[in-house]
Amino acid sequence: MNNQPRISDKRKWHSVPTDEAMNILETGPDGLSIKEATDRLNSFGPNMLAQTARKGPLTRFLLQFHNVLIYVLLVAAVITALLQEWVDSMVIFGVTIVNALIGFIQEGKAEKSLDSIRNMLAPQAVVIRDGKRQTISAQDLVPGDVVVLKAGDKVPADIRLFESRDLQIDESALTGESVAVSKNTHEVDEDSSLGDRTSMAFSGTLVTYGQARGVVSTTGENTQIGRISSMLSQVDTLTTPLLRQIARFGHMLTAVILVLAGLTFFFGILIRDYSAGDMFLAAVGLAVAAIPEGLPAIMTITLAIGVQRMARRNAIIRSLPAVETLGSVTIICSDKTGTLTKNEMTVQNIQTGDNLFTVTGAGYSPDGVFKLHDKEVDFNNYPVLMEMLRSAFLCNDADIKESDGHWKLDGAPTEGALVTAAMKAGLDQEKINAENPRQDSMPFSSEKKFMATLNRVDSKNVVILKGAPERVMERCSHQRHQGKDKPLDLDFWQKSGEEIASKGQRLLAVAVKKAGDLQSVQDKDVEDGFTLLGVFGIIDPPREEAIEAAAKLIGDCVSVKECRSAGIRVKMITGDHALTALSIAEKLGIGDGKTALTGKELENKSDEDLEKVTPDIDVFARTSPEHKLRLVKALQARNHIVAMTGDGVNDAPALKRADVGVAMGKNGTEAAKEASDMVLADDNFASIANAVEEGRTVYDNLKKAILFILPTNGGQALLVIASILMGIGVMDATGHFTLPVTPPQILWINMVTAVSLALALAFEPSEANVMNRPPRSPDENLVSGFLLWRVTFVSLILVTGALGHYKLILAGGYSQDLASTAAINTLVVGQVFYLFNSRYIYESSLNFQGIFGSRPVLLSIAVLAVLQLSFTYLPPMQFIFQTEALAFSSWILIFIFGIILFFLVELEKAIFRKTQT
């Protein structure tokens, strides 16, 4: 779209006086003419967010196959098809298609994030054109239009206000500010943060109170929400650590398979003088043996089981790889409101002329007590406190009700906090209101910053004043002290207010005055003559479970028993004020309680400087969407795996960029949810700690599955190699060399052990030390040096047992088919015993829990027993796989071998544990 050069959309409209804004936009209070509006619409384009180009569904589906391991599997499928093993070929093809479908569906969900932001825009707007009020489609708004706003409206564009009457706007979706913002028409500093631009109403925010008029300054993509949408479309998502590890593993595996197959092929021809045809089939058998066909299926199932476990702990996973990524997170960047806090304002301190009281409890539930000097208060001894609470009840429009075991607020959050505090003192709202009926009221005004009511209290008329301390106190001449009125001590109240405010609490004062026979409240009735009862300290406090969760992650102990350091750094990034953020952070054990970096300070730092300071600062306040995105990128540049939590559209770009984006399920916007990888059903930070634990468990189980599957492939591959190197096999009458185990038999072993045995490891519970160890390095290889050793060690044992039994059967004068059957069952039973070893990578399995403690393991062995006995004894299976029935004596030897393998691996574990101490 082409913008008119005479109107600058780059101007900082919040700092421009209203008259100047009107002149720049070439408009007035009567709005634009219809013709001018039409001309500008043609020039600026509609007030909507642009659609971004997207890949077609076919392209997106085909791209799911762009993975080295998938290529290897597809080659394996083709090879098995050439061998006319159609069932095995279709199974492998099926695995790749299922994985592609999962990726395709998840990618499609992610693209909805832009759509959800577009849906936040207002559908209609009330404008003044040619001096007449009319309702138009919000898409037809242009810069210079005069818009009328009232309570309940969604702001249709970015608007510079020129008239405002008690206007309050909920901007939490844009700024993270936990309470509605009072607006006015006065210009503010040019470098003011988004939450402090009180002269502006921003597109997509909600008017909660009052009325206003303003002139449209920017539309479409140039609005604040448009800029966020543009940022979101440009944010690149990062490949998860697991997928990077799988890619490296796939490349390594491909190279090893090709090299071994080639060397085996040429060795057989040049050294053993076998035919090229036989060696080609041997090379194919080696490739089929080495490829872990069941691994992608096991990975998908293990991740899916992790998804189910997390769902039971209120963490809903939207992207399968995010399950494992949570386990490798090194830093959690958390929004404050609703995640670390309950997003429910709570009275925590009450200052009267006599005492400073502490109020326990959080949220709108009336559970809590009043304390003075750490002792519970007897309300009969503190009449001023009770008068103050009763007055806060009466000068109040909020209502709190219990529904389905939850206390819900109807009204303003700060007023709800006062109602809850009074209820904690045993006061009943309906009874108090009935005994002290309201005669008249003066509603809260953003200009006056107070509310007043006229009530009949104890048969006398009383005016109750509630509002900002500075506005209330300037109308007070006295204060209540020990039940009597004495002259107002401003120094005392200023010091008391500073002490409460230093804890991050908002202040609200309450005062009263006798009203004689007054019948209504006018401006002149609230000018002076009041007696100050006291000041409330109100805050959105941290969740208790969030404090414990933060301690669990960062090791800042709540108690010795509860503290389990997971080595994760928690950072608070909020749109709220620095003082409030620091207060909450201190209670949570985040940071040092003194250092916070504000958005304004952040803007003055280069990307390089930000990368240097970000790891050492844990509290960021007054941040914008751009700030959050820069912080995530800066941390990732230092090789951190970052989880980002948020609930507003302002969080969406950072959520998308983070390694794991975590959105709020109850109070989060759809934009945040669609940009995220995980949604918290309970909006609770503690659920993130639970999810991290599950993520680490999932990774452990994946490693166990890999540690179990690879020796199967290694043993089979070594069996093929050793057979050719040592000339072990059978040469038939036609001169064709037959391996001890054929490719179809190899595929059978791969699939049954993966589908039955390896699957059991996906259900393994968390190990005891899972949250006691630091996060693993993002650069860690999926197959470590230790893992390679274990795979090699077990593979050598398996191939020794299988070849030994094979040669023993042949030496007894029995057939090749019987010898192959014995070798296959030796490999499979060896894997059964090794399954018990694999339940613990380093710890001993030689105990009751290790052997009998997993029902899935025992069930999988039972399933495998049925499959393997069918493979050995059923005539159709004997025909397909060329097997013969084994004698009882062979089974005894096979089980003795399995027991030996189990004890050898346990001995290896014990030696490893000893070397690590």
Residues belonging to the active site: 335
The tokens 């049954």 sit on which residue? 752
Own/partner long-range contacts of 519-522 (Cβ < 8 Å, ≥24 apart): 519/439, 519/440, 519/454, 520/439, 520/440, 520/454, 521/440, 521/441, 521/442, 521/452, 521/453, 521/454, 521/463
Question: Residue type for 606, please?
Answer: S
Q: How many residues belong to the chain?
A: 917
Strand order in the sheet with 315-317: 315-317, 678-680, 660-664, 642-646, 331-334, 569-573, 619-621, 597-598
Question: Residue type for 2, please?
Answer: N
The tokens 């591959």 sit on which residue? 717
Q: Please give the Cα distance from 29 to 639 (Å, whole number).
A: 54
DSSP 680-737: ETT--HHHHHHHHHHHHHHHHHHHHHHHHHHHHHHHHHHHHHHHHHHT-SEE-TTS-E
Total Cβ atoms within 10 A of residue 768: 8
The tokens 């009882």 sit on which residue? 888
Question: Residue type for 744, please?
Answer: P
Question: Residue type for 282, please?
Answer: A
The CA–CA distances, whole Å, from 909 to 46, 714, 914 equal 68, 20, 9
Q: Please give the Cα distance from 656 to 96 (Å, whole number).
A: 27
Q: Please give the Cα distance from 56 to 60 (Å, whole number).
A: 6
Q: Are strands 642-646 and 331-334 parallel, antiparallel or unpaired?
A: parallel
Question: Residue type for 876, please?
Answer: P
Phi, psi of 623 (to 5 degrees): -95, 150
**Closest among 864, 898, 868 to 883, alpha carbons compared:** 868
The CA–CA distances, whole Å, from 762 to 237, 260, 295, 759, 789 equal 27, 31, 12, 6, 23
Query: Six-digit token pair at 107?
Result: 């990618």
Residue 669, CB half-sphere, CA atoms under 13 Å: how many? 31
Q: Please give the Cα distance from 439 to 419 (Å, whole number).
A: 20
Q: Please give the Cα distance from 48 to 122 (Å, whole number).
A: 10
845 and 809 Cβ atoms separated by less than 8 Å: no
The tokens 């990307």 sit on which residue? 607
Q: Please give the Cα distance from 692 to 643 (Å, whole number).
A: 10
